[in-house]
Chains A and B, each alone.
Chain A
Amino acid sequence: EAQVTQNPRYLITVTGKKLTVTCSQNMNHEYMSWYRQDPGLGLRQIYYSMNVEVTDKGDVPEGYKVSRKEKRNFPLILESPSPNQTSLYFCASSSRQGIQETQYFGPGTRLLVL
């Protein structure tokens, strides 16, 4: 089954404690990205990756890092989380072959930073 998986689904942490949210897709997609969703703001892109070892900032990259060492994985790293990073996070992937394909979203990760 084609899917995007994220782990963990729920996470409570404290300010300053480094954390990583993993994202993996099994569709051999080139393009992957991270979004955060906040009430009243919709979804905003954090980082994206066009392919392995190619990443770039989205609209709200401050406080986040990403890496793309393998095509299937695109982890989101919060080196020193702060309460304003409490949010719902979505990972997404899509093919970049030919026309723009639909983005497939993971189930979301709810993060609470105390």
Chain B
Amino acid sequence: AQKVTQAQTEISVVEKEDVTLDCVYETRDTTYYLFWYKQPPSGELVFLIRRNSFDEQNEISGRYSWNFQKSTSSFNFTITASQVVDSAVYFCALTPTPGGSGGGADGLTFGKGTHLIIQP
């Protein structure tokens, strides 16, 4: 069975600080995809990034960066120079690739989310 752990239930920082959201996962699949989604107070789920398990390159998109380390089964998300608009719940999620050997439903397995509060 797959599992995604986001140990940080809530993080509060002051605007302009850097903040890292942790994500640790467990899977028996040898190939899989990892995702981060943002859920602002309005409630919709906003896709941020998808990472293939074959690709361990870190990725940067503006103030957002992601550190994927297969050796430690982690896929951490860093926001640099945080802004109030970054306040949201952030979810890390995992899914096997089609035909993956881990079995189970083919949907996303989500972590419980990290509530990020950016104070002005």
Q: How far is the CB of B113 from chain A (nearest CB, A)?
A: 5
Chain A residues whose CB sits within 8 angstroms of the CB of B95 once the complex forms = 100, 103
Q: Does B62 contact A (CB under 8 A)?
A: no
Q: Which residue of A lies closest to B105 (CB)?
A: A58
Q: Does A74 contact B (CB under 8 A)?
A: no
Q: Does A99 contact B (CB under 8 A)?
A: yes
Task: Determine whether the beta carbon of B107 is less than 8 Å from that of A35.
Answer: yes
Task: Determine whether the beta carbon of A43 is less than 8 Å from that of B108.
Answer: yes
Q: Measuring CB to CB, which residues of chain B are less than 8 angstroms from any residue of chain A?
A: 33, 35, 37, 43-45, 47, 50, 52, 91, 93, 95-98, 105-113
Binds B, one of A16-24, A44-52, A64-72, A76-84: A44-52
Enumerate 23 A-B pairs (CB-CB under 8 Å) in ascending A order: A31-B106, A33-B107, A35-B108, A35-B110, A40-B112, A42-B110, A42-B111, A48-B106, A58-B105, A88-B43, A90-B45, A92-B107, A96-B98, A100-B96, A100-B98, A102-B47, A103-B47, A104-B47, A107-B43, A107-B44, A108-B44, A108-B45, A110-B43
Q: Measuring CB to CB, which residues of chain A are less than 8 angstroms from any residue of chain B?
A: 31, 33, 35, 40-45, 48, 50, 56-59, 88, 90, 92, 96, 99-100, 102-105, 107-108, 110
Q: Which residue of A lies closest to B39 (CB)?
A: A37
Task: Determine whether the beta carbon of B112 is less than 8 Å from that of A56.
Answer: no
Total of A-B residue pairs, C-beta within 8 Å: 62
Task: Determine whether the beta carbon of B110 is less than 8 Å from that of A50.
Answer: no
Q: Contact check: which of B35, B44, B91, B98 meets A42 at CB < 8 Å?
A: B91
